[in-house]
């Protein structure tokens, strides 16, 4: 099955399956539905794929073959760390979010544990590289010095494991694209505006200034404010 006609048929099956799986996941789509929608016989399908699960694995492996090297090449480049992080989210959004659905990945997680384990190992490797990038960014002066890279890496790992989780996203009716866009903005831009965005280092601990723990636009923090004379006279 290496001729141009066979390759064209195989690509046609993959393309049709990708559309169906994006809408419904793959678990509820039968081989018969795949064949009927694509105008082919089951015999043709099984000549190209062992079963439906083999088709899913080829779709996912194809994505990793196409975008995995881009992810790693970018993360390991010598570009300034902010540029690397920006590009990282671009690749994820254009590569993964644009080509797979939450519903399909939830089915992979639920019904193809071996394939999902490979995905998890790749994600864990990426998080480890991100932790090293935070250290390099601090040396460059492009990442805040009051952030502990190890702790930040574990937080990112937790977000990736528990929130960038197909089951969670499906339950919350969130797409991969929605998650990636918001996570990118929170990670790279933060959620505070104005004076609250200033980084402040607390003696003995590294922390971001907060309304209750740093000097904000209204003066000293509430935690360190002495009671007024009126308040003392009432005691």
Lowest mean pLDDT among 7-11, 30-34, 98-102, 141-145: 98-102
For the stretch 201-222, pLDDT in tens is: 333 344 443 333 333 334 333 3
CATH of residue 87's domain is 1.10.357
pTM of the full predicted structure?
0.75
C-alpha to C-alpha distances, 181 to 50, 79, 119, 164, 184, nearest whole angstrom: 37, 22, 20, 12, 5
pLDDT band at 231 (very low <50, low <70, confident <90, very high): very low
Both 180 and 81 in one domain: the answer is yes
Q: Is residue 23, in this structure, part of any structural domain at all?
A: no
pLDDT of residue 194: 58
Q: Is residue 139, in this structure, part of any structural domain at all?
A: yes
Contact criterion met (CB below 8 Å) for 90 and 42:
no
Report the sign of the C-alpha dihedral through residues 49, 116, 17, 32, in that order.
positive
Q: Is residue 32, in this structure, part of any structural domain at all?
A: no
Would you give the distance in Å from CA 2 to the centre of its chain? 36
| Domain membership of residue 202 as a residue range | 197-224
Cβ neighbours for 112, distance < 8 A, ≥ 6 positions apart: 53, 56, 57
């Amino acid at each position: 099955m290496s001729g141009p006609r066979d390759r064209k048929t195989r690509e046609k099956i993959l393309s049709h399956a990708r559309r169906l799986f994006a809408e419904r996941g793959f678990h509820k789509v039968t081989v018969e539905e795949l064949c009927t929608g694509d105008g082919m016989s089951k015999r043709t399908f099984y000549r190209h794929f062992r079963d439906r699960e083999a088709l899913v694995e080829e779709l996912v492996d194809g994505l990793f073959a196409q975008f995995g090297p881009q992810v790693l090449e970018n993360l390991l480049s010598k570009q300034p760390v902010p540029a690397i992080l920006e590009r990282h989210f671009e690749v994820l959004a254009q590569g993964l979010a644009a080509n797979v659905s939450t519903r399909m990945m939830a089915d992979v997680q639920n019904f193809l544990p071996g394939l999902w384990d490979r995905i998890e190992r790749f994600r864990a490797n990426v998080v480890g590289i991100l932790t090293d990038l935070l250290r390099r960014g601090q040396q460059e002066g492009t990442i805040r010095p009051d952030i502990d890279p190890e702790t930040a890496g574990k937080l990112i790992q937790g977000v990736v494991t528990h929130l960038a989780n197909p089951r969670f996203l499906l339950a919350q009716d969130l797409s991969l694209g929605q998650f990636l866009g918001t996570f990118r903005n929170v990670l790279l831009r933060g959620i505070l505006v104005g004076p609250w965005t200033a980084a402040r280092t607390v003696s003995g601990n590294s922390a971001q200034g907060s309304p209750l723990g740093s000097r904000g636009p209204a003066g000293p923090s509430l935690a360190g404010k002495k009671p007024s004379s009126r308040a003392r006279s009432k005691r």
